[in-house]
Amino acid sequence: MSVSDDGIAGAKSSLSLVTNLSVIFLVVLWLIPTVGLLVSSFRDRDAISSSGWWNAPFATEQNFAAGAEGEFTQTPDGWVIEGNVFGEDGSGTVTAFGGRRAEPTAFQPGTTGELVRGRTLTMEANGDYRYVDPGEDAPRRNPTLYFGTQVPPSFSTDNYETILFSNGMDVAFINTLTVTIPATIIPILIAAFAAYALAWMDFPFRGTIIAVIVGLLVVPLQLALVPMLTFHNDIGIGQSFYGIWFAHTGFGLPLAIYLLRNYMVGLPRDIIESAKVDGATDFQVFTKIVLPLSFPALASFAIFQFLWTWNDLLVAKVFLPSNSDSWVMTVKIADDLLGSRGGDWGILAAAAFVSIAVPLIVFFTMQRYLVRGLLAGSVK
């Protein structure tokens, strides 16, 4: 519906400006958290802790320590060592310098700083320094110099390389894939047959079964954890991939049957009845007519189930073994990385984006089906 349909001529322009601005505000608000972590996943640890991600496109001020190189020479002022903090070949701009770790940026470039026991340090903006020790004997060790400088923004995929190739995230990724594929495909097949029976076949208790399935839609799956794990242990599959495939199949079925039945009921009766008149069996009607026509509903449930199994933490924690070989990505992040890499935001961010990349791709390419499925499940 466009603005002119409402016919509020006078209020039109100011109203639409307010609308545009508020939607922009909301979208930005919704995106900020994700964008922040995405930007951080490309920055190294020092850059993340020295400036916020919103400053990432700009140069950051960072402090460095450099050992003075060369040897002390004796002059009338005392023992002197000279050089450049950026080395022979390097270049840069010193924004501040100091002689102690605790005060790395005590002095401005171009000035002479007084250090302990009469020693002085002079540093120019281009990095040239002169360190003077007025003592009698030659200093035994070369001093360490501290300085601050502007570091240009840098982005790299190092975090992704670290997380994928040396942290076991690749194993977790494969495990997630392993859980997801059977857990998405098998319930669809089982549910499709059941949905066809509930939509197009006549038999006693049909209404009761549909009502029970609607009721099962909301059963908290927490209830199933203990009894089903005990059951899996009793029949010998214990905590394993088989266990989680069965569990996801069971938990996904109510929604699958509900969605598919709602869709199949809406298929034109004529097609199905004329096929039956022509001698097609129910099995043929189902595989040759109903199944191909139900593709949109099958796709939308497949997306739901895929997102749900890919993103699941609870079922994976309970039904998969708790050793690191069987960790899926959500468990890997929640139970391992958050503890062992707690402060290392670059690594955590990269791990998060490795785990949400696939769902995001699925989401943006198949949004149409997802929305259709949501509507079929809720508005009806």
Partner 1 sequence: MSPLLQGILTVIIGVGGCIGYFWASNLVLDRVIFPAKGQDAGRNINRANAVRPWLFLLPALAALGLYLVYPVFGSFYRSLFNRSGDEFVALGNYGALFADSEFRTALFNNFLWVLFVPAAATFLGLLVAQLTDRLSWGNIAKSLIFMPMAISFVGASLIWKFVYAVDPEIGIINAIRDTLGLSALDPLQVGFWNNFFLMVILIWIQTGFAMVILSAALRGIPEETIEAAIIDGANPVQIFFKIKVPQIMGTIVVVWTTITILVLKVFDIVYTMTGGNFGTQILPSYMMEYMFRDDGRATAVAFVIMLIVLPVMVWNIAQARKEMR
User: In this chain, which of 157, 174, 273, 295 binds partner 1, going by CB under 8 A?
Assistant: 174
Q: Which is nearer to partner 1, 64 or 241 (CB)?
A: 241
Site track for partner 1 across 104-133, x = CB under 8 A = ------------------------------
In the bound state with partner 1, the residue whose beta carbon lies nearer, of 66 and 179, is 179
Contacting range for partner 1; rule: CB under 8 A; set: 91-99, 119-127, 147-155, 366-374: 366-374
Instruction: Answer whether 261's CB lies under 8 Å from 210's CB.
Output: yes
Residue span 49-78 as binding mask against partner 1, x where in contact by CB under 8 A, dash where not: xxxxxx------------------------
278 binds partner 1 (CB under 8 A): no
Could you tell me the smallest distance in angstroms from the CB atom of residue 82 to partner 1?
35
Residue 165 as a binder of partner 1 (CB under 8 A): the answer is no
Pick the binder of partner 1 from 17, 26, 138, 271 (CB under 8 A): 26
Q: Which is nearer to partner 1, 8 or 271 (CB)?
A: 8
Question: Which of these ranges, 14-22, 79-87, 120-128, 289-297, lies near partner 1 under the rule CB under 8 A?
Answer: 14-22
Q: Which is nearer to partner 1, 24 or 271 (CB)?
A: 24
Q: 101, 89, 93: which is closest to 123 by C-alpha?
A: 93
Task: State which of positions 311-350 bind partner 1 (CB under 8 A).
Answer: 311-314, 317-318, 326, 330, 333-334, 338, 345, 348-349
